[in-house]
Structure 1
Amino acid sequence: MQKKQNNRDSLFDVEQISEDFIFNERVAQVFDDMLDRSIPFYREVIHSIARILDTTLEDNSQIVDLGCATGTTLLQLSSLLEKRDFQYTGIDNSSAMLDKAQLKAELFSKQECLKFIQGDIMNMEQPCASAFILNYTLQFIRPINREKLLKQIYTNLAPDGICILSEKIISHHPNLNRKYIDMYHTFKKERGYSELEIAKKREALENILIPCSLEENKAMLQSAGFVEVEPFFQWFNFVSFIAVKPLT
């Protein structure tokens, strides 16, 4: 019971914050709880991704999660798709996150199909990957570098490969954008976050997480070379896309 309490996200239950949001050891310890309580329909999105991968990819496919954090997405996918012969690779620049990911892989006996690599996703090379996943990762990349990363993903994908992109978004209609933010804050309060925690986390993320609109994300994917680009999930200011690389 004490272990569960220690892993509950209370990082911003303080009057003052001393730094911007960093994916360090403190964040790694509570990250799974943070995801469950901060990302609407997080697990449902993973289930949807599993359905896409299952119906799209052949056996022996390589699935790469960029910004894999503590490995939750790959661990769940490997369980949901345990009858498929897929190989999973997670890449992240945070050693604290990857230490926890590796520990979880060992705990659930997934070492054979999961591997984790520490590195900068901007410099990754995974030629002929069948699928790339960016779950709430692109929003932490400087906007000027986002299209470059998407083009690199496109280049590394095998023909007919897919990119899954999930992001927090903004609306360029101010009234709707305000309503969506208010709905999201209500969502977080319903999951136990206080007004103080919501405000302080938003302050810590202000210069770190910079969202684009749905249209801007779709345009970046198309500019990178993807022709088939469609959202498969949206909850107010959160959206998930599938983008397919043409065969030729």
Structure 2
Amino acid sequence: MNDKVFTKPIKKQFEFDEEVAAVFDDMLKRSVPFYKESQKITEFFSLKHLEDGSIMYDLGSSTASLLINISKQLKCKATLVGLDNSDAMLEQARKKCLALGANVELENADILEYDYKEADVFVSNYTLQFIRPLVREELVKKIAASLKKDGIFIFSEKVISHHPKLNKDLIECYYDFKKEQGYSEYEIMQKREALENVLVPYSEEENIKMAKNCGFSHCEVVFRWANFATFIAIK
């Protein structure tokens, strides 16, 4: 289904409800620049770290597209676990897994409180930015503590620049991208208002500093387009 969520006046802040879940895959393709490419990088590094007995967690797994793609390429007996707190998203994910025969475990869970097993890979695609800054670092510490030595945390985030002019231009560049995907100025404005104070992005430097402060030995960007970036943090 095509994303037309913001063609009408908004009445609430953005949330991952049934209306959003129904069009989420289309929303991602048209709202996140080079989403397919960043996902392929995530799949590549995830698969390199998975072996028999490995566990991989996808935090905020939404419709499980990433885990389904990884399950198709998996050549070992690893456990793929998708965690999300949206029933609507999980319903869509279960339908896709069933239709495609994907061996993926899906759970309705609070990723801040979840009792993680020792894992080789954690992934978070545009999820950290929706977690309040006060507790975001605690989650990253929990992820680091739950990873095996040399395990990886791959996370994609919208990022900001602390240079006012550059930050303004990055946003304008992104809005031009959205217009090219068929979104109107009205839809862009509506979504921006709905996400205000819900999505709180960090800069590239702040994300790397957070990862290192939370127990990762190394963190760097492996893909970036304007104000969207994919990071890999190594335990």
Q: Shared fold by TM > 0.5? A: yes
TM-score by length of 1: 0.92
Q: Equivalent residue for 2:120?
A: 130
Deviation at 1:75, TM superposition (A): 1.3
> How far apart, in 2, do the equivalents of 1:87 and 1:189 lie?
39
Q: Which amino acid aligns with 1:128?
A: E
1:232 aligned onto 2:228: no
> How far apart, in 1, do the equivalents of 2:34 and 2:188 lie?
18
> How far apart, in 2, do the equivalents of 1:54 and 1:89 lie?
14
Q: How does 1:37-186 map to 2 (within 5 A)?
A: 37-79=30-72, 81-110=73-102, 113-186=103-176
Deviation at 1:76, TM superposition (A): 1.9
> How far apart, in 1, do the equivalents of 2:230 and 2:93 lie?
23
Deviation at 1:194, TM superposition (A): 0.5
> How far apart, in 2, do the equivalents of 1:54 and 1:17 lie?
40
Deviation at 1:86, TM superposition (A): 2.6
Deviation at 1:77, TM superposition (A): 2.0
> How far apart, in 1, do the equivalents of 2:136 and 2:32 lie?
21
Q: Which amino acid aligns with 1:205?
A: L
Where in structure 2 are there 5+ consecutive unaligned residues?
none
Deviation at 1:55, TM superposition (A): 2.7
Q: Which amino acid aligns with 1:100?
A: Q
> How far apart, in 2, do the equivalents of 1:49 and 1:60 lie?
20
Deviation at 1:60, TM superposition (A): 2.9
> How far apart, in 1, do the equivalents of 2:82 and 2:115 lie?
12
Q: Which amino acid aligns with 1:180?
A: L
Deviation readout 1:176-206 (Å, 9 max, x if unpaired):
1111101100111101100000000000001
Deviation readout 1:62-103 (Å, 9 max, x if unpaired):
110001111111112222x23343321000111110011011
> How far apart, in 1, do the equivalents of 2:204 and 2:49 lie?
24
Q: Equivalent residue for 2:4?
A: 10
Q: Which amino acid aligns with 1:35?
A: L
> How far apart, in 1, do the equivalents of 2:28 and 2:76 lie?
26
Deviation at 1:125, TM superposition (A): 1.6
> How far apart, in 1, do the equivalents of 2:105 and 2:48 lie?
23
Equivalent residues of 2:50, 2:76 under 8 A apart = no
SS at match of 2:63: coil
Where in structure 1 are there 5+ consecutive unaligned residues?
1-6
Deviation readout 1:7-52 (Å, 9 max, x if unpaired):
11001012x2100001111111010100010011111111111221
> How far apart, in 2, do the equivalents of 1:117 and 1:86 lie?
17
Deviation at 1:59, TM superposition (A): 3.1
Deviation readout 1:97-134 (Å, 9 max, x if unpaired):
00110110000011xx2010001110112221111001
Equivalent residues of 2:47, 2:74 under 8 A apart = no
1:204 aligned onto 2:197: no
> How far apart, in 1, do the equivalents of 2:180 and 2:207 lie?
29
State the percentage of identical aligned residues: 47
Query: Once superposed, which parts of structure 1, at least 4 consecutive aligned residues long, lie more than 4 Å away?
Result: none
Q: Which amino acid aligns with 2:219?
A: V
